[in-house]
Chains A and B, each alone.
Chain A
Amino acid sequence: MMHEWFLASPIVLASLAAVAALIVDALTPHSERVTYGFSIVSLILVLVAAAGTVPFNGTAFGTMIRGGGVAAVFDLIFALGGVLTIVASRPYIAARNFEHDEFYTLVLYATAGMMLIAHAQNLLITFIGIEVMSLSFYVLAGYFRQTLHSVESALKYFLLGAFATGFLAFGIALVYGATGSIEFGAIATAINKDALNFPRLLPIGIALVIVGLGFKVAVFPFHQWAPDVYDGAPTVVTGFMSTAGKAAALSAFVPLVVNVFPIAAASVQTVLALCAAATIVVGNVAAVVQRRLKRMLAYSSVAHAGYMLIGLAAGNSRGLSAVVFYAVAYLFMQLGAFVVLAMLERDAERSVELEDCSGLSTTHPALAALMALFMFSLAGIPPMAGFFGKYYLFAAAIEAGYTWLAIIGVLGSMVSVYYYIGVVVYMYFKESRDATERMRFVGPERVPLLISAALLVVLGIIPTALESLLSSFWK
């Protein structure tokens, strides 16, 4: 029993912290600083607990949740994303005179929801996790409730998200109907023993589950909401949603790819591969024509979901490790880019166009250098972590016989290089339009930026430690 609580400790801590934060809010109104500090401290505790459980593996609370192993690594991703987002968001929302306790509480809730998804050993837990995360994101997307853009983003996200949740619930019901269980192990056993009640329901159920999850990941053809929502939401929230949120939805696929898909229907992997290819192409091509930086990053995040899907489509141990590795790298590079963007927006007090980056390297040298690093990493240029992540994914794809998918992946990268270095062109090669004073690189945003940049370089040059840890999970 103790062991179960230990394995579940990150998720228990995160959930308790979210509830406690809500109570603190209620008892002490206008206590932004308290909630801010409390959220950071509790997420750091979660990080410690998750790090402690990494070497273990097992299920807890019946067979409801898994603990340790890859779930703990996902915990680290989500909690780290949460901390970095909270630290970066304070000056951003404060600059708009819109700092409320709820912001931090909602980030905590979203984090707890993501962790539930990664820990799920049962489709119901997956569902609950997705709902907790999504509901928090609906509100966070519309956090700037005076801005039309933000409200529109939230409404769009909510309406389409609710629709997708319907698919997911229906799919789970059909899978239950076919196999008599919603626990991954039991589902696999039922399929293996050929003890299906309604064999024809199973593929339909699985297809609906994929649709529901695919929507959350923003996989083609369910990606249309993503650019609008990411564009309208507060920039720091977009950073969090498009990295940790995406990783969470992908983590729901992992147990399915391991346990269910290979025995349920061989064609599932092919479908995933086709989706991955289409997602990469659509995301990258659409990003090329964007002039607004935020929208460009929004489209590119669609493409990156496609890259991670490559690993799932490959379905081998190398592919699954690669997905998690890429999720880590992607967290740092994309979140970093959004934090830089948030800082620029705070300065400009409006959305940032590519032209606004002109001469950034002379007005904000440190910021420009970090942004360039994030851009090169996103484009997959060595020696940053984004490169190794892609290398690893492509290696998995080729190993699984999807050489064509790897080729589409690199072709997509070529396209992405164009728009990513476009940002660098404006920052470094064009003169500033208005000769602003050199801004000093201060503010709490420094912390997430420097952490992200340092980890990107370290993970790029020495991916070994993380990589060997990950590949040990699927031996």
Chain B
Amino acid sequence: MGQLLLLIVLFLPLVVAIGLLGVPSGRVAIHRWASLATALVTFVLSLPLYWLVDHARGDFQLLTNVTWIPSLDAGFRIGLDGMSLLLVLLTTFTMPIAIGASMGVITKREKEYYVMMLLLETAMIGVFVSLDMFLFYVFWELILIPMYFIIGIWGGQDRIYAAIKFFLYTIVGSLLMLVAIIWLGWHAQVATGHFTTDFVKLREIAPSIPLDIQRWLFAAFALSFAIKVPIFPLHTWLPDAHVQAPTAGSVILAGILLKMGTYGLIRFNLDFFPAAAIEFAPLLAVLAVIGIIYGALVAMVQPDMKKLVAYSSVSHLGFVVLGIASMTNEGIQGAIIQMVNHGLSTGMLFLCVGVLYERRHTRDIAEYGGIASVMPRFAVLFAIAMLASVGLPGLNGFVGEFLTLLGGFRSPYLDSWAYSIVAATGVIFAAVYLLWMFQRVMYGKLTNPANEGLADVRVQELWTLVPIVIVMVWIGVYPRPFLNASAKSTQAIVEKVLHYAVPQEVALDPAKTSRITETKRP
């Protein structure tokens, strides 16, 4: 039952996309409504998955295992644990909003656009549910094609440059990951006699790889994921891609695609190479903190709203990476919830910028001012999105940031308060650049005559924005259901890392050991 449902959620968008290929491109209404309906149905169907996955277990559930390429033991293996469950739900929740926000906004080649959107949805869900490295890689790369077209065809002025940059950056990382995947498969052949890319088998074998090789494998995987996240200094594709992509493209990019990188770090880097992860944790944390501060400072001086939001992503994802690098329960839990939060709040910020752009065809902050007086309802929604992104208690952003910082404090691997203290200043910076932007755009006197006749949010826009607000308030007030879902799978990973930490060098330092066992006890 659950397995079947997961398969339907995964493939329904693809099937509809193939079906839509047969519909003539003139029938725009069919393409629009069919893809929106598909995304909505996929979302509704994905909801029961929350209950079908047993939150008391940390392992993979709803497994499907079909033989695919026997000689290389690449199988069609999919399943969910608490972490991937949340990300799948985030994906299915975001897609109807992204498609809804595109209707009427995208005016050329609509057939191709909606087909690409649906293809993208299947590929993104596929990344989160794959339990086979080969399958994972196929979905991972498959995302490139639709996203590349979405930026390149429907993007802004410099869309071609942005699309190529996006494609090349991503593929540079992922191809080295491919070598690492094959190397792991071959290692399995040496260790057990069979080449395999089965995630569940590899996670048993991989941690015992000698540390000097583990470092290289860790680096190959981390590079691929770090580009996707993006971790400073590999972030330079992000502002270009975000600014040039159409609004829905930015929403998906920020909401889901970036999460694939942080998801990969937890799923593969920590789980496969715990010993190397302990070594690399301080480096990751340093880069994360630099990203937090750097992204915030650059966001502060952006004259372009969309670019500002894009750089704020670099900053916000720094928290996620810091949480991951802490490798504590709090940190990783916080990272997961922050992944969801960032998807919601940044997605909504992009939608808000899109609302303004639709009306004025500029994203220049200086062009605006006093918008609140002509668009009062929009001002409220924009304010909520902005405050959620700042991390105001009561809205979603606070929970995640708080937990990641807590993880950074308590982490035995980082073993320094400095990371969290410096990172915490990023929260203040976030308040500065977001509030300042909001003030310049929304408040003050309406000086620019071009802004006088702006219409308030339309019904279509309300339909895309209000659902996000509901979830944001929900997570902010009562995050338990979300935290519960991923608690066990997080714990499993944290314990695995601990297992490999204690017998090694950390054990030599009694102070550290006592702190680790302390963490282990609850």
A390 and chain B: residue at smallest CB distance = B178
Most chain A CB atoms below 10 A, which of B137, B159, B186: B186
> Does chain B have a CB within 8 A of A464?
yes
Chain A residues positioned under 8 Å from B164 (CB to CB): 418, 421-422, 425
Return the CB mask of A458-475 against B: 1 if under 8 Å, else 0: 000011100110010000
B70 and A464 form a contact (CB under 8 A): yes
A429 and B160 form a contact (CB under 8 A): yes
A387 and B141 form a contact (CB under 8 A): yes
Given contacts A399-B186, A399-B189, A429-B163, contact A414 B172 (CB under 8 A): yes
> Does chain B have a CB within 8 A of A44?
no
Most chain A CB atoms below 10 A, which of B152, B159, B167, B179: B179
Chain B residues positioned under 8 Å from A376 (CB to CB): 145
CB distance from A313 to the nearest CB of B (A): 16
A382 and B167 form a contact (CB under 8 A): no
B182 and A394 form a contact (CB under 8 A): yes
- The contact of B175 among A398, A414, A462, by CB within 8 Å, is A414
Given contacts A417-B167, A425-B160, A429-B152, contact A383 B185 (CB under 8 A): no
Chain A residues positioned under 8 Å from B148 (CB to CB): 421, 424
B183 and A398 form a contact (CB under 8 A): yes
A421 and B167 form a contact (CB under 8 A): yes
Given contacts A410-B176, A421-B167, A425-B152, contact A392 B72 (CB under 8 A): yes
Given contacts A383-B142, A471-B71, contact A407 B176 (CB under 8 A): yes
> Does chain A have a CB within 8 A of B153?
yes
Return the CB mask of A410-431 against B: 1 if under 8 Å, else 0: 1101100110011011001110
B144 and chain A: residue at smallest CB distance = A381
A256 to B167, CA, bound (A): 40
B155 and chain A: residue at smallest CB distance = A429
> Does chain B have a CB within 8 A of A391?
yes
A407 and chain B: residue at smallest CB distance = B179
Return the CB mask of A432-475 against B: 1 if under 8 Å, else 0: 00000000000000000000000000000011100110010000
Chain B residues positioned under 8 Å from A413 (CB to CB): 171, 175
Residues of B within 8 A of A (CB-CB), count:
34
> Does chain B have a CB within 8 A of A406?
yes
Chain B residues positioned under 8 Å from A394 (CB to CB): 178-179, 182
- The contact of A382 among B137, B152, B159, B185, by CB within 8 Å, is B137
CB distance from A277 to the nearest CB of B (A): 14
A398 and B153 form a contact (CB under 8 A): no
A428 and B153 form a contact (CB under 8 A): yes
B189 and A467 form a contact (CB under 8 A): no
A406 to B178, CA, bound (A): 10
Return the CB mask of B365-376 against A: 1 if under 8 Å, else 0: 000000000000
| A interface, over-half SS | helix
A376 to B146, CA, bound (A): 12
A410 to B195, CA, bound (A): 20
> Does chain B have a CB within 8 A of A403?
yes
Return the CB mask of B71-95 against A: 1 if under 8 Å, else 0: 1100000000000000000000000
B71 and A398 form a contact (CB under 8 A): no
> Does chain B have a CB within 8 A of A367?
no
A399 to B182, CA, bound (A): 9
> Does chain B have a CB within 8 A of A213?
no
Chain A residues positioned under 8 Å from B189 (CB to CB): 399
- The contact of A429 among B68, B159, B168, B175, by CB within 8 Å, is B159
A428 and B149 form a contact (CB under 8 A): yes
> Does chain B have a CB within 8 A of A174?
no
> Does chain A have a CB within 8 A of B134?
yes
B181 and chain A: residue at smallest CB distance = A391
A410 and B70 form a contact (CB under 8 A): no
CB distance from B506 to the nearest CB of A (A): 31
Which of chain B's residues 60-74 have a Cβ closer than 8 Å to chain A? 68-72
A395 to B171, CA, bound (A): 19
B220 and chain A: residue at smallest CB distance = A407
A407 to B182, CA, bound (A): 11
Given contacts A376-B145, A468-B71, contact A391 B178 (CB under 8 A): yes
CB distance from B78 to the nearest CB of A (A): 15
Chain B residues positioned under 8 Å from A388 (CB to CB): 69
A393 and chain B: residue at smallest CB distance = B182
A392 to B186, CA, bound (A): 12
B182 and A398 form a contact (CB under 8 A): yes
CB distance from A457 to the nearest CB of B (A): 11
CB distance from B354 to the nearest CB of A (A): 21
A414 to B168, CA, bound (A): 7
- The contact of A410 among B159, B175, B185, by CB within 8 Å, is B175
B134 and A410 form a contact (CB under 8 A): no
A395 and B182 form a contact (CB under 8 A): yes
Chain A residues positioned under 8 Å from B142 (CB to CB): 381-383
A430 and B175 form a contact (CB under 8 A): no
> Does chain A have a CB within 8 A of B29?
no
Chain B residues positioned under 8 Å from A406 (CB to CB): 179, 182
Return the CB mask of B307-345 against A: 1 if under 8 Å, else 0: 000000000000000000000000000000000000000
Return the CB mask of B116-153 against A: 1 if under 8 Å, else 0: 00000000000000000010011001101100110011
B69 and A464 form a contact (CB under 8 A): yes
Chain B residues positioned under 8 Å from A407 (CB to CB): 176, 179
A414 and B71 form a contact (CB under 8 A): no
Given contacts A376-B145, A425-B152, A468-B70, contact A417 B182 (CB under 8 A): no
A430 to B149, CA, bound (A): 12
Chain A residues positioned under 8 Å from B186 (CB to CB): 395, 398-399
CB distance from A100 to the nearest CB of B (A): 41
Chain A residues positioned under 8 Å from B171 (CB to CB): 413-414, 417
CB distance from A472 to the nearest CB of B (A): 10
A463 to B172, CA, bound (A): 25
A467 and B71 form a contact (CB under 8 A): yes
Chain A residues positioned under 8 Å from B160 (CB to CB): 425, 429-430
A411 to B176, CA, bound (A): 8
Chain B residues positioned under 8 Å from A398 (CB to CB): 179, 182-183, 186
A57 to B342, CA, bound (A): 61
Chain B residues positioned under 8 Å from A414 (CB to CB): 168, 171-172, 175
A407 to B134, CA, bound (A): 17
A407 to B216, CA, bound (A): 12
B72 and chain A: residue at smallest CB distance = A395
Most chain A CB atoms below 10 A, which of B137, B149, B159, B171: B171
Chain B residues positioned under 8 Å from A468 (CB to CB): 70-71
Chain B residues positioned under 8 Å from A425 (CB to CB): 152, 160, 163-164
Given contacts A382-B138, A407-B179, A413-B175, contact A429 B167 (CB under 8 A): no
Chain A residues positioned under 8 Å from B182 (CB to CB): 391, 394-395, 398, 406
A414 to B144, CA, bound (A): 14
- The contact of B145 among A381, A391, A411, by CB within 8 Å, is A381
Chain A residues positioned under 8 Å from B137 (CB to CB): 382
CB distance from B360 to the nearest CB of A (A): 25
A265 to B71, CA, bound (A): 30
Given contacts A414-B171, A421-B148, A430-B160, contact A382 B72 (CB under 8 A): no
CB distance from B243 to the nearest CB of A (A): 16
Chain B residues positioned under 8 Å from A381 (CB to CB): 141-142, 144-145
Which of chain B's residues 163-215 have a Cβ closer than 8 Å to chain A? 163-164, 167-168, 171-172, 175-176, 178-179, 182-183, 185-186, 189, 195
In the A-B complex, the 9 residue pairs with the closest CB atoms? A410-B175, A382-B138, A429-B152, A398-B186, A429-B160, A382-B141, A395-B182, A398-B182, A406-B179
| A382-B141, A394-B182 given; 9 more Cβ-contact pairs under 8 Å | A381-B141, A383-B142, A395-B182, A395-B186, A407-B176, A410-B179, A418-B164, A425-B163, A429-B163
21 pairs of residues in contact across A and B, judged by CB atoms under 8 Å:
A382-B141, A382-B142, A387-B141, A391-B72, A391-B178, A392-B72, A394-B178, A395-B72, A395-B182, A398-B179, A398-B186, A399-B189, A403-B179, A413-B175, A414-B168, A414-B175, A421-B148, A421-B164, A425-B163, A467-B71, A468-B70
